[in-house]
Amino acid sequence: MAGGGRGAFGAASTIRLDAERAERRRAQRGTLDPGPAPVSDVEQDEDPFGLDLAMLERVLPAFRFMHDRYWRVETTGLHNLPADGPVILVSNHSGAIPFDGAMIATTVLLQRERVVRFLYDRFVDNLSPVASFYRKVGGVAASRENAVELLRADHPLLIFPEGVSGVAKPFSDRYQLRSFSPGFARLALGLDVPVVPVAVVGAEEIYPLVGKAEGITKTLGVPYLPITPFFPLLGLLGTVPLPTKWFIRFGKPIRLKATDDEVRWERARLETLRMRRTVQGMVARLRRRRKSVFFG
pLDDT at 265 over 70: yes
The residue-averaged pLDDT of 109-125 equals: 94
Q: Tell the CATH topology of 43-206+241-289.
A: Glycerol-3-phosphate (1)-acyltransferase (3.40.1130)
Closest CA to 60 of 15, 2, 93: 15
- Give the SS3 label for residue 273: helix
pLDDT in tens, 89-109: 999 999 878 899 999 999 999
What pLDDT shows up at residue 212? 79
The residue-averaged pLDDT of 132-159 equals: 97
Q: Are 251 and 198 in contact (CB under 8 A)?
A: yes
Provide the pLDDT confidence category of residue 263 given band limits of 50, 70 and 90. Answer: confident
Name the percent of the chain lying above pLDDT 90: 66
The residue-averaged pLDDT of 263-292 equals: 94
Q: Over the range 57-72, which residues count as b (16 or more CB within 10 Å of their CB) and which as e?
A: beebeebbebbbebbb
Provide the pLDDT confidence category of residue 153 given band limits of 50, 70 and 90. Answer: very high
What pLDDT shows up at residue 13? 41
pLDDT at 5 over 50: no
pLDDT at 44 over 70: no
The domain segmentation of the chain, as residue ranges, is 43-206+241-289
pTM (predicted TM-score): 0.83
Q: Strand 211-213 vs strand 225-227: parallel, antiparallel, or unpaired?
A: antiparallel
- Amino acid identity for residue 12 in this structure: A
What pLDDT shows up at residue 213? 78
Closest CA to 202 of 123, 96, 69, 94: 94
Give the CA count within 13 Å in the CB-facing half-sphere of 130.
14
Burial class (CB in 10 A: 0-12, 13-18, 19+), 113: middle
The residue-averaged pLDDT of 251-273 equals: 85
What pLDDT shows up at residue 225? 78
What pLDDT shows up at residue 22? 46
Q: Strand 247-250 vs strand 195-201: parallel, antiparallel, or unpaired?
A: antiparallel
**What is the rounded CA–CA span in Å between residue 88 and residue 51?**
18
pLDDT at 112 over 90: yes
Provide the pLDDT confidence category of residue 222 given band limits of 50, 70 and 90. Answer: confident
